[in-house]
Amino acid sequence: MHKQKLIIISGSPWVGKTTIASELCASYVNSAHFDGDWAWCVNPFSLDDPRLRNGDKTMSFALSTYLNSNFSYVIFSSVVATDKSIRESILRDVTAKDYKVIGFTLTCSEKTLTERHKSRGDGGEVSFYFLNLEPYPNDYVVNTDNKTVTEIVAEIKNIIDSE
């Protein structure tokens, strides 16, 4: 068997992480998808909640479980994976061994992000904070502007399959 691949899809909210990760998972046999949003779905949600980083432990546990269950492809989508220290903390606590990490940062224009935000019916203001962060070191950067989901997944799969 080929070495397992942990595929990390990061980027701004509304850039397409969950959609791309779901379709990518569906395109690979023996794959699993974990969305980081599932790790800390609380009400009320606040970035100031001192318990927020506890969700990272859930992410590490879920990724460990999938990798230790011998899935060939484990796809992890998360906005927090854009942050170097948070991503490294999550990966440090993964208990699986001998897997390859391939990271992707999805991006788009501010105009596209605003349109996607509006189409989702989110009543909050659009933030470009995550969109303007530097990509995680050594991530492949994929611009999602003017591309279909199928085109983006094909682009990402070409990279994964060449690694």
What is the total count of domains within the chain? 1
User: DSSP per residue over the chain, as a string?
Assistant: -PPEEEEEEEESTTSSHHHHHHHHHHHSSSEEEEEGGGGG--SS--TT-TTTTHHHHHHHHHHHHHHHTT-SEEEEE-SGGGSHHHHHHHHHT----SEEEEEEEEE--HHHHHHHHHHTT--SPP--TTTTSPPPTTPEEEE-TT--HHHHHHHHHHHHHH-
Q: What is the pLDDT along the chain (163 residues), one digit of tens a residue?
A: 478 999 999 999 889 999 999 999 999 999 999 999 888 888 887 778 888 888 999 999 999 999 999 999 999 999 999 999 999 999 999 999 999 999 999 999 999 999 988 887 777 788 888 899 999 999 999 999 999 999 999 999 999 999 8
* Closest alpha carbon to 4 in 65, 72, 62: 72
* Closest alpha carbon to 29 in 141, 159, 157, 162: 157
> Could you tell me which residues are beta bridge partners of residue 105?
10, 141
Query: 35: domain CATH number?
Result: 3.40.50.300
Task: Say whether pTM exceeds 0.85.
Answer: yes
The residue segments making up the domain with residue 81 are: 4-162
